[in-house]
């Protein structure tokens, strides 16, 4: 059975996380993704240890580039520019994260690409959207977390005034999701209309859009009725609760769930407190209620709370250390981690696309490529063999 995006060729000239994450999801759905790198390879290849350092197959490269073919091109060289032109002419989608001015100088701006293929979907993953004072500035995840106000969320929650980054490349990954969504939308439009187009996916605006869905909060009104910042998320007491042997996450999200929780905890008297007497009082005073939960949870183990509360309809999960996530029983049962053998690198694990489609399966694509692994084959396909 053919994959959903079979027959779609994507020429991917992106690096690090943002673009490669977007294109990997499309490769997982069956698109042919050709990763174009400079002769030294994407810098991401060097993040983390690899079994053979000279091959530059670091772990983050492996998690973000499976299912792709790879070709190395030096676009300062005429022959490699010719190869790139042929690639773009053969592509449905050309996606890159090079600054617009630099791409124009290389001869592969939108107008040049459209001359090679009139219906090309030209996708520019850039730091800041065009038309504003930040246009053209460099953007990295830390910079975007700072510019969007994300670094002020932890201070709101714990009272430590120092701005801090969330310890994840969350802006890059979120923008990658927006990028994949944008490419799919453009593909659907072209299938309906035959039109190609220029698509701009700005990292700053994408992550701001993502973070402010809840955190714009009172500032959504003009004039603002309350400060920005979703109160439940920046509540100092809304943290994992201590148990006899660790921590658990408990989410008493509705008045009915709150009642069930304290009944299961054998502490219904807590709700007799005037602060919690009525359902709306409990929600208004939820921070104090979290404090009451934290006083009770140390009386049992994490496993006991998880079993008791989930059976009673109260969401509860143990706090699992990052190093233990590969042993999670649910992820193991659902095949989230897929063991593979790389022809050069040996055994590793993949995280297949977690979405399930009933109409078409998700193919098991080739393992992540080495630098220029498919270069000779691709050149031959383009009529440049020999």
Buried b (16+ CB within 10 A) or exposed e, 194-208: eebbebebbbbbbbb
Can you read off the two tokens belonging to residue 173? 């990954």
List of domains in the chain? 9-210+334-381 (3.40.50.10540), 241-318 (3.30.1540.10)
pLDDT digits (tens, 9 = 90+) for 222-263: 999 999 999 999 999 999 999 999 999 999 988 889 999 999
Q: What is the mean pLDDT of the chain?
A: 95
Cβ neighbours of residue 158 under 8 Å, at least 6 residues apart? 236
Residue 386, pLDDT score: 53
Query: E strands, 213-290, where?
Result: 241-242, 247-250
Give the pLDDT score at 358. 87
pLDDT in tens, 372-383: 999 999 999 999
Give dist(CA 140, CA 52) in Å, integer.
Answer: 28
C-alpha triplet 262, 264, 270: angle, nearest 5°: 20
pLDDT band at 360 (very low <50, low <70, confident <90, very high): confident
Eight-class DSSP state of 146 = H
224 contacts 218 by C-beta, under 8 angstroms: yes
Taking the C-alpha atoms of 366, 372, 374 and 379 in order, what is their torsion angle to the nearest 10 degrees?
160
The pLDDT of residue 1 is 64
The predicted pLDDT at position 365 comes to: 86
The 10s digit of each residue's pLDDT in 275-333 is: 998 988 998 899 999 999 999 999 999 999 999 999 999 999 999 999 999 999 999 99
Provide the pLDDT for residue 25: 96
If you average pLDDT over residues 89-93, what whole number do you get?
A: 98
Residue 171: which H helix or E strand, with range? helix 170-193
State the Cα–Cα distance between residues 88 and 118, nearest whole angstrom: 11
Dihedral angle of Cα 241, 243, 246, 250, to the nearest 10 degrees: -40
- State pTM to two decimals: 0.94
1: DSSP letter: -
- Token pair in block for residue 197: 């187009």
Burial classification of residue 55, based on how many CB atoms lie within 10 Å of its CB (0-12 exposed, 13-18 middle, 19 or more buried): middle
């Amino acid at each position: 059975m053919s994959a959903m995006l079979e027959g779609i060729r994507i020429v991917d000239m992106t690096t690090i996380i943002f673009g490669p994450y977007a294109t990997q999801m499309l490769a997982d759905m069956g698109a042919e993704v050709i990763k174009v790198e400079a002769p030294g390879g994407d810098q991401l290849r060097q993040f983390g240890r690899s079994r053979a350092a000279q091959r530059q197959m670091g772990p983050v490269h492996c998690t973000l580039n499976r299912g792709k073919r790879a070709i190395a091109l030096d676009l300062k060289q005429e022959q490699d520019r010719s190869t790139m032109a042929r690639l773009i002419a053969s592509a449905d989608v050309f996606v890159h994260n090079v600054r617009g001015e630099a791409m124009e100088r290389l001869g592969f701006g939108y107008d040049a690409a459209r001359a090679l293929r009139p219906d090309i979907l030209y996708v520019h993953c850039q730091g800041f959207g065009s038309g504003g004072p930040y246009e053209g500035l460099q953007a990295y995840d830390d910079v975007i977390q700072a510019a969007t106000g994300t670094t002020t969320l932890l201070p709101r929650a714990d009272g430590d005034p120092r701005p801090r980054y969330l310890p994840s490349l969350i802006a890059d990954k979120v923008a990658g999701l927006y990028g994949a969504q944008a490419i799919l939308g453009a593909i659907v439009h072209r299938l309906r209309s035959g039109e190609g187009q220029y698509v701009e996916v700005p990292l700053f605006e994408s992550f701001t859009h993502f973070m402010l869905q809840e955190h714009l909060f009172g500032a959504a009104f003009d004039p603002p009725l309350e400060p920005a910042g979703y109160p439940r998320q920046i509540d100092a007491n809304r943290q994992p609760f201590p148990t006899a042997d660790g921590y658990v996450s408990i989410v008493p999200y509705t008045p009915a769930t709150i009642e069930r929780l304290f009944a299961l905890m054998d502490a219904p008297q807590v709700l007799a407190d005037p602060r919690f007497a009525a359902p709306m009082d409990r929600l208004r005073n939820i921070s104090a209620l979290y404090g009451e939960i934290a006083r009770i949870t140390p009386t049992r183990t994490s496993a006991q709370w998880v079993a008791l509360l989930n059976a009673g309809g109260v969401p509860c999960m143990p706090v699992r250390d990052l190093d233990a996530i590969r042993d999670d029983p649910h992820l193991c049962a659902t095949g989230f981690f897929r063991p593979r053998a790389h022809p050069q690198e040996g055994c590793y694990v993949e995280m297949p696309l977690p979405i399930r489609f009933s109409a078409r399966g998700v193919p098991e694509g080739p393992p992540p490529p080495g630098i220029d692994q498919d270069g000779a084959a691709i050149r031959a396909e383009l009529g440049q063999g020999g």
